[in-house]
């Protein structure tokens, strides 16, 4: 089994088990057709009142000027490794409903749903996505003239996973460390907060 493939306690889709976020990317372009399909997958995510509050700023290494601009919107620690990715994306969320201008409490949740769709589509196409919260929102606002009530929220590096052997010692260790997750009993409750649901205390036969 792949070192990074999820060792699940219960059956899940193979694509979900295979998905993980590498720090190393091959020097290989992602086709425009594949990128369009990734954003098409995001397009069809569910959202509150079908608001679709997600927006994306995208740059590829084929356009060094644009790539450098978008890279500058990441915190320095992320720039160190993300500069090798063939594609960078900053995800921008609309925090108000377009129709009535009221606050949209589901906006960030829905941005996450769109990201989930995009990541699964990427995995199906042999691509990897590393999502980041470490960005400079105000830098992005200034560079891209992001309007009021929209906010740069996260970023993504997209490309083909590289051999960890070619990474720095620190990043190599991160890419080779097996994935771990909390047990279901730590976050699925029944009766009161913190009380594990009997549902998740049982194992599949």
**Number of separate domains in the chain:** 1
Q: What is the pLDDT of residue 203?
A: 72
With respect to residue 127, please indicate whether it lies within any of the assigned structural domains.
yes
Task: Name, in order, each residue with C-beta under 8 angstroms of 74's C-beta and a sequence gap of 6 or more.
Answer: 82, 88, 132, 134, 135, 136, 155
Q: What is the pLDDT of residue 205?
A: 56
Q: What is the pLDDT of residue 72?
A: 98
With respect to residue 172, please indicate whether it lies within any of the assigned structural domains.
yes
Query: Got the DSSP string for 123-153?
Result: HHTT-EEEEES-B-HHHHHHHHTPPTTEEEE
With respect to residue 25, please indicate whether it lies within any of the assigned structural domains.
yes
With respect to residue 171, please indicate whether it lies within any of the assigned structural domains.
yes
Here the CATH number for the domain that contains residue 29 is 3.40.109.10
With respect to residue 186, please indicate whether it lies within any of the assigned structural domains.
no
Tokens read off for 135: 């960005």
CB 61 within 8 A of CB 29: yes
Q: What is the pLDDT of residue 89?
A: 98
Which parts of the chain have pLDDT scores under 70?
Answer: 1-3, 204-205
CA torsion sign for 174, 176, 177, 180 is positive
CA distance 105 to 102: 9
Q: How many CB atoms lie within 10 A of CB 71?
A: 19
With respect to residue 192, please indicate whether it lies within any of the assigned structural domains.
no
What residues does 132 pair with on adjacent strands?
Answer: 155
With respect to residue 5, please indicate whether it lies within any of the assigned structural domains.
no
Tokens read off for 144: 């891209």
What is the residue range of 173's domain?
Answer: 21-178
Q: What is the pLDDT of residue 3?
A: 66
What residues does 74 pair with on adjacent strands?
Answer: 135
Q: What is the pLDDT of residue 2?
A: 58
């Amino acid at each position: 089994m792949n070192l990074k493939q999820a060792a699940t306690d219960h059956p899940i889709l193979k694509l979900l088990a295979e998905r993980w976020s590498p720090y190393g990317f091959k020097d290989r372009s992602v086709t425009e057709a594949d990128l369009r399909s990734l954003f098409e997958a995001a397009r069809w995510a569910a959202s509150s009142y079908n608001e679709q509050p997600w927006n994306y700023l995208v740059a590829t290494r084929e356009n060094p000027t644009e790539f450098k601009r978008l890279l500058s919107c990441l915190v320095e620690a992320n720039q160190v490794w993300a500069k090798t990715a063939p594609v960078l994306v900053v995800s921008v969320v609309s925090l108000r409903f377009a129709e009535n201008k009221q606050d949209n409490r589901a906006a960030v949740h829905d941005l996450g749903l769109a990201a989930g769709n995009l990541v699964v589509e990427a995995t199906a196409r042999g691509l990897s996505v590393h999502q980041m919260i470490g960005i400079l929102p105000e830098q992005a606002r200034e560079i891209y003239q992001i309007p009021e009530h929209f906010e740069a929220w996260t970023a993504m590096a997209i490309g083909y996973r590289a051999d960890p052997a070619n990474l720095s010692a620190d990043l190599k260790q991160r890419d080779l460390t097996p994935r771990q997750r909390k047990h279901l009993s730590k976050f699925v409750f029944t009766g009161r907060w913190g009380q594990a649901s009997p549902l998740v205390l049982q194992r599949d036969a």
